[in-house]
Amino acid sequence: MDVNLHHCLEGDKQAWDDFVQRYSGVIYAAVGHVFGSRGAGSTGRTTEDVAQDVFVRLVKDDYRLLRKFEPQRASLETWLTLVARSVAIDCLRKRRLETSGLDPSQIPAAEPTPDGQTVPLHLLTARQRLVLTLLFDEDRSVAQAAQMLNVDEQTIRSTKHKALSRLRSHFQSR
Amino acid sequence: MPVDDQKNPTDERLWRSAAPMKPALSAACPGQLELASYLDGRRSAAEIESIETHLVVCRECREAVADARLIVVATARSRPAAPERVIESAQALVSAQSQPLLGLKWRTARWPAAAAASVAICVFGYHTGTAWTASTDLRLDQLATEMSFGVFDPPDEDAGEIELIAALLTERPR
């Protein structure tokens, strides 16, 4: 089904209906993945509820969020997946704060956590450091790292091998 | 599992000993469009290096990329469908009059007639005991969502009706 996003943003009802028909599955799957992998039992909200929240955010304030999408930069499926995942994570985070007795409005937005083990800059490429982080710090398998970075498993093994060789050389020369 | 993939404590120690420095996050997290673009392979080599440098030190973004990749791969394979109820609710967010119901700037405007009418229908049905229809159910869901997002901001004199909506949501047949 072709979806005319431009018509959709102009308020065309049929275009919006087509958009929902075409992308509701992706949004529903993304929310379901977050709830399935992290547990949503305590939120009191279902996957259906949160999927609906995603659509609400997309159209709110004259499609403010949906207008941010730029088709030349990414596919709509991938962008909506990230948006839906983010809404689901926010839902879980909000519930955790509420159940902890803290006032969510008093809590600043979560800051990313610098947790990666790194090596002297320029010794390894970002890709090499990322691969070692995924394999050693996060205990991901070669297959998982390969999927995440959208490369084959042999590429991950090769990247890891080269990175470790560089590290050995670095320490042997010191 | 290939021998190469097995955990090698020596390699792991090498990686950890090579991490005397833990740099702070050098930049803000990439936006969702940027991450989507990265996931879709639409970034230049320099941009990939920049994003992966961030991923090494930011667990939240790493998780976002890993989750999104899993979801995108799974949905491309199986084309999941959302429940009909989710599709209907989402489609109802945009009216046939080319206006997203939630795109209305209700915070600054008067409570719109459409919302007042919806509440009146629900209230009337509640008081008279008329049949509870699927559309009543759907509209109640929408009102609840809109209130939770703060876009549904009726004037104080309608507080009684809002309480009644809450009661309807609690008591409606399932």
- Residues of chain B in contact with residue A83, where contact means CB-CB under 8 angstroms, are 32
Residue B110: predicted pLDDT:
38
Looking at the structure of chain B, the number of domains it has is 2
Q: Per residue in A48-97, pLDDT tens? A: 999 999 999 999 999 999 999 999 999 999 999 999 999 999 988 887 76
Residue B150 has pLDDT above 70, yes or no: no
Same domain, B92 and B127: yes
Residue B108 has pLDDT above 80, yes or no: no
User: Which has more pLDDT, B149 or A17?
Assistant: A17
Structure tokens given for A171: 């320490």
- Residues of chain A in contact with residue B23, where contact means CB-CB under 8 angstroms, are 114, 118, 121
Determine contact, residues A155/A127, Cβ cutoff 8 Å: no
Same domain, B165 and B115: yes
Same domain, B47 and B118: no
Same domain, B72 and B89: no
- Residues of chain A in contact with residue B89, where contact means CB-CB under 8 angstroms, are 52, 55
- List chain A domain ranges: 5-106, 126-172
- Structure-token match 């090579």, residue found: B18
Residue from A18, A79, A36, A87 nearest B90 by CA: A18
In this complex, the residue of B36, B42, B141 whose CB is nearest that of residue A82 is B36
Question: Hey, is B45 helix, strand or coil?
Answer: helix
**Percent of chain B that is helix, strand, coil (3-state, to 5):** 65, 0, 35
- Whether residues B102 and A12 touch (CB distance < 8 A) is answered with no
- Partners of B85 in beta bridges: none
- Whether residues B66 and A144 touch (CB distance < 8 A) is answered with yes
- Structure-token match 């997290």, residue found: B29
ipTM of the modeled complex: 0.79
Residue B106: predicted pLDDT:
38
Q: Per residue in A129-164, pLDDT tens? A: 999 999 988 889 999 999 999 999 999 999 999 999
Same domain, B152 and B92: yes
CB atoms within 10 A of CB B136: 18
Same domain, B89 and B63: no
In this complex, the residue of B2, B58, B86 whose CB is nearest that of residue A112 is B58
- For B40, the domain range is 3-78
Residue B127 pLDDT grade (very low, low, confident, very high; cuts 50, 70, 90): very low
In CATH, what number does A5-106 get?
A: 1.10.1740
Residue A99: predicted pLDDT:
67
Same domain, B59 and B98: no
Same domain, B93 and B153: yes
Structure tokens given for B71: 């979801």
CB atoms within 10 A of CB B131: 7
Q: Per residue in B54-77, pLDDT tens? A: 998 899 999 999 999 999 999 888
